[in-house]
Amino acid sequence: MRPPSGIVGLGTDVVDIARLTRLIDRGGTRFLDRWFRPTELRSFAAEADGRQVAALLAAKEAVAKALRVPGDGPLLWRDIEIVPGPAVLLHGRMRDLALTRGVGSFRLSMASAPDHAMATALAIAGEGQTSL
């Protein structure tokens, strides 16, 4: 069955950069490894400051909100990968959820200011699953 075209979901998130920086300082590599895939950390390593990491985190949360992730267990943040562009690649449980919901692609916008980073994700229905 062909899913209808159109918007499946919309998500927005804002991250406080100072708070995230404190979490990274406390949790170090363990914190980053829990939230980000190695490819994300490498892709953005040249620019990785608090604002960049906060924008990535906001983007992941925005994608989760756009997919309307059910609250029946821990969210595997590494199943949402943000790649340069920015674009979204999904893995594992998140990919399965997107396919179930009929999501064919995402549109993602990220921005930062001195104190906050934000992202908005639009989940779009469609047959072509190439961007998942």
Q: Is 113 exposed, middle or buried (0-12, 13-18, 19+ CB in 10 A)?
A: exposed
Give the per-residue pLDDT at 48.
58
Domain assignment present for 34 = yes
Secondary structure, 3-state, 30-59: HHHHHHCCHHHHHHCHHHCCHHHHHHHHHH
Give the per-residue pLDDT at 81.
95
Please state, in angstroms and rounded to a whole number, the distance separating the CA atoms of residues 119 and 12: 6
- The domain that holds 17 is classified in CATH as 3.90.470.20
Domain assignment present for 131 = no
Is the pTM higher than 0.85? Answer: yes
Residues of the chain with confidence (pLDDT) below 50: 1-3, 129-130
Give the per-residue pLDDT at 73.
66
Domain assignment present for 111 = yes
Residue 48: which domain range?
Answer: 6-125
